[in-house]
Amino acid sequence: MSYEDAAVLPLALSTAACGLFQKDHLALNPPSSTPKLTGQTLLIWGRSTRVGSNAIQLAVAAGYELISMPSPRNFDYVKGLGASQVFGYNSPTAVKDIVSALTGKTSPWPSDRDRPIPAWMSSTPAPATSLSPAPVPPSPWTSRSPCWPSASWPQTCRCG
């Protein structure tokens, strides 16, 4: 493994784990060295990226069946990680193929379990007024700020 790949592995692994297993995200069953099949299927669109690769392996280790959307050149790689089915993300039949693959499958999404759907996953659209972007405060890391890092920073920083 290259130094660059090794350096990013903790971030990719923790990002995938947080998204899949944290209570405020998908809250899936945790992975195990001896996974028990859940009978549930996940679609991971992250494909063969570092985070997507980790998510596939973690979800398989947690007992989920995986369907993934890599580019055709990465089909074998993603199947090797544990995806049971792969479809080209840019295929003209991708949506039809995914719907067909998921038909009759059980999903692990919170709406399928006896707990409320997290607010960020709600299908109810937010009021139009809440969609306007909030004003962004000036960054303390711009050259117009008295806090721009310099040879005497942080001693000269007077942000507050």
pLDDT tens per residue, range 57-99? 999 999 999 999 998 999 999 999 999 999 998 899 988 898 8
Judged by DSSP in three states, 40 sits in: strand
Q: In angstroms, rounded to a whole number, what is the distance separating the alpha carbons of residues 111 and 50?
A: 28
Amino acid at 46: G
pLDDT of residue 35: 93
pLDDT tens per residue, range 107-132? 886 554 444 444 444 444 444 444 44
Closest CA to 102 of 40, 58, 59: 40
Assign a CATH topology to domain 3-115.
Answer: Rossmann fold (3.40.50)
User: Full-prediction pTM beyond 0.85?
Assistant: no
pLDDT tens per residue, range 10-67? 999 999 999 999 988 888 999 999 999 999 999 887 567 889 899 999 999 999 999 9
pLDDT of residue 109: 67
CB-CB neighbours of 56 under 10 Å = 27
Q: In angstroms, rounded to a whole number, what is the distance separating the alpha carbons of residues 117 and 43?
A: 18
Tokens 């007992």 belong to: 63
